[in-house]
Structure 1
Amino acid sequence: MEDIQEISDVRFQGIKINYLYVCKRKLWLFSKNITFENTSDKVLLGKVLHEYSYPKENTKEVLIDNLIMIDILSDGSIREVKYSSKMKEADIMQVVYYLYYLKQKGIQKQGIINYPKEKRKEVLELTPEYEEKVKQALKEIKKITTKPIPPPAQKQKICKSCAYYEFCWG
């Protein structure tokens, strides 16, 4: 497989990295602009939590290259605010993708995932291992999103709280 080197090769929204680790079918549907998030109570709860958490932060919701949205940006770090740590691997991969993306632009930062409801945080650095995982994830996203049909639905614990539940199982 070819190596991903140029910034133009890594132009995916961070949510797609997250969805790759949550549900490949959801990733495919989202990539085709089939979205149900605007009707989801869980998504609304996450937005409210994000809006009211960390009110003293000045630099919130920073859009970079009209592509990635960083929840909170500070001098030395980027921070993501998440409702719960139930999908920790997906959260971690989303943040390390942001770190990787920024590194391609010559910007070095630390990543932090805040779980305010749980009163805890996860501090991340972009290691060579994470860089390799990001590169593999980007290749897999490209492979999944260019297929003509979605991956089959696979029952998971999170399905019942997913905005796509009725689409997949209704």
Structure 2
Amino acid sequence: MGGTEINYLFICPTKLWYFSKGITMEQENEWVDLGRFLHERRYAGEEKEVQIGSIKIDFIRKGEIIEVHEVKLGKSMEKAHEMQALYYLYYLKRLGIKARAVLHYPKLNETKEITLDSREEEVEAAIREVQRIKSLPAPPEPVKSKKCKKCAYYELCWV
């Protein structure tokens, strides 16, 4: 399981189900392209897409404590971003690596620090829910929201 699946759980379970079945639509989505562009330009000096086991982190900074950095376009899905970062911290803790996370919102010139602290049960519940959704024989019914219009999976759900 990767962080994207945790992220999608909090954005849209239907999107999570499609993604888990190998149906990926992001390559052609202009919002995803804009996010990649901001990530590349703003953090040009960082080693990007750091793979550790089954997780892929935008970039890492090493110091007294490992910092996991995730770059996001905007804050409208902040809960999903936070849970993705918490999943990374949970995963690393299981490997014996103590870390904290920093969410970057370059368009807003904002950052948010995340620590696992007492939220392990919340992450474990999210992991169980991702596994449940992935095991469904068909996608969950989509729930229409304002975020649907910018979603790469819009046509699968609503056209």
What TM bracket, shorter-length normalisation?
Answer: over 0.9
Unaligned 5+ segments in structure 2 are: none
- Structure 1 CA distance for aligned equivalents of residues 11 and 48 of structure 2: 25
**Within-5 A mapping of 1:135-146:** 135-146=124-135
Question: Which amino acid in the other structure matches residue 74 of structure 2?
Answer: S
Measured after TM superposition, the shift of residue 18 of structure 1 is: 0.2
- Structure 2 CA distance for aligned equivalents of residues 37 and 60 of structure 1: 19
Count of matched residue pairs: 156
Measured after TM superposition, the shift of residue 61 of structure 1 is: 1.4
Say yes or no: does 1:70 pair with 2:57. yes
**Within-5 A mapping of 1:38-57:** 38-57=27-46
**Within-5 A mapping of 1:1-170:** 12-57=1-46, 59-65=47-53, 67-75=54-62, 76=65, 77-128=67-118, 130-170=119-159
- Structure 2 CA distance for aligned equivalents of residues 51 and 154 of structure 1: 33
Structure 2 counterpart SS, 1:100: helix
Normalised TM-score (structure 1): 0.89
Taking only aligned residues, the RMSD between alpha carbons, in angstroms, comes to 0.8
Q: Give the corresponding residue for 1:8.
A: none
- Structure 2 CA distance for aligned equivalents of residues 136 and 33 of structure 1: 23
Normalised TM-score (structure 2): 0.95
- Structure 2 CA distance for aligned equivalents of residues 47 and 168 of structure 1: 25
- Structure 2 CA distance for aligned equivalents of residues 132 and 101 of structure 1: 13
Structure 2 counterpart SS, 1:118: coil
Unaligned 5+ segments in structure 1 are: 1-11
